[in-house]
Chains A and B, each alone.
Chain A
Amino acid sequence: MSAIRIVKRQEPLGWSSCLVLLAAILISLVLSGCILFIGGTPPLQGLAALFKGGFGSRFAFEDSLIKATPIFLCSLGVAVAFRLQVWNIGAEGQFALGAVGATWIALSFPGAPAYLLLPGMILMAVIAGGFWGFIPAVLRQKLKTNEIIVTLMMNYIAILILDYLVYGVWKDPASFGFPMTSEFSSSAIIGRIGGSNFHWGLVHCVILGLLCWLFMSYTRIGFEIKASGNNVRAARYAGIPYDRLVMLVLALSGALAGWAGFLEASSTINRLQPSIMAGYGYTAIVVAWLARLNPLYIGIAAFLLAGLRVGVEGLQLDLQVPAAFGGIIEGLILLTVLAGGLFTQYRIVTGAKK
């Protein structure tokens, strides 16, 4: 029988897996162009505007880098959990609670000096986000609930908590009824690096990314995470405390997302308002998977997808394309990259079966 069939590769595909990735992204862009066409936008002009808006100017470049910071931190956390085969879909909610935690400290101690206030805000953000990640971990290990659904439901709950606070008790009396807290005092705001447009959050990202990489590569726990992720049963058999590992990883994952929430409130918006929820937590999942859970690649992928987001904003202004188009591209990229995974694990052969 002469037919196309697929055969498992003996060794994983090397550098040419980059080609598969590129091809996947190219296909998803072509499909996105088709969808632009359906929506009545000239596709080539649209995609050109997308790239120009995202990466085509100094301003766009800077904006993309700034937007990449929360995505990067969320994605770093998501990746650690995914490595353990624990599906934390809750970065969005953990980010929200982080922002709430940081805001609580900022509003409670407006007169505190920056060297006390900022660490306090970070600490609270990390605790709040970590706590939000810890709950589904406990439910998963003690009661065997499905963490995918619990983390996702907790996203909705966290966003509604944030709404409740900014529409209610935390609403700035001087905001003319708009749902937002009053602006943070200057000591609660992370400053910019020198005379540039980048805030110090960028440095946080580099340090945390490096720590994460060291943690995963050179510590015992990091090794245990990787081992358990590959085979839970074997890990338990080898005496790895799997339950505690899951709780640690989800709390860590939530803490990183919470830190991102702090950065966004403190440096980008300087207050808490509903628009802080821009779906970074979901983009982080796309990023983590694109980057194959590797911290360095996460940095690159976070920047690229942040650029897409900035580009979509430009597209919205130039050609009146709805902002939801960003979700379409992200979904398509993830689907095509997943499909492309086949070619890195299997060989396509034609000809008769031996």
Chain B
Amino acid sequence: MKFSRRSLITLVVLGVIAASLYYFFSTRGVTYIWHWEKIPEMLFYHGSKSPEDPTPRLHMGILMIGFMLTLKISIFSIFFAIIIGTIVGIARLSDEPVTRALSISYVELIRNTPLLVQIYIIYFFVGSLLRLSAFTAGTAALSIFAGAYVGEIVRAGIQSIHRGQMEAARSLGMSYAKAMRYVILPQAFKRIIPPLAGQFISLIKDSSLVSVIALADLMFQGQQAVARTYYAFEIYFTVAFLYLVMTASLSMATQYIERRLAISD
């Protein structure tokens, strides 16, 4: 890799900032004793879990268990958000006034109320009516929330495709649904990958809010670990880093997909 002069300057500036921060805290007499050595066992540890199974094995630590749950809830929510968003986006452009009004109401209702409130309502009200588990309620809340934003993105994507594409597809005898599926949506999705990626990165970070309904996600497990050990700095830095791993991987994956799809440009 080649470093340009500009990236060298950036590194120098960052180094200066880091050094002055270190100087600031060390002269302030912050006498915090770091316990970074306790972190690895919160990710993975080798040992036996219970007396019934004495043979030592490699187990996931508390933070890793939380990481997996956050990953799972994010993947499920992204999947459902795409489905909800596509339906809402198409409904928003319907000729049918009732369909259009429903879609607009959904988007406005969800976008203009806090996610935290929605999570409580879905968990405590809808969840107890339908006997949903915390995981189902959390996934539902996140999907419904992100679905509203994805709906607006999909709508903008569809509208950005030239009118002639729909006309060409229809003039070949395709129904509206077929034209959407084979001609309009593939082009629209390609175009909306960057805003979708942003939306899903937000979703991964927002998923930390489900810790309030006692879902043992990464944030929840982090809080538990801090309560037990008081290593707040090390644990929250690690939690932040683990979120960063997920969001950065998503960014890189979308950039890869974007490059792959660029061949027809």
Does B associate with A? no
Chain A interface (Cβ within 8 Å of chain B)?
A: none
Chain B interface (Cβ within 8 Å of chain A)?
A: none
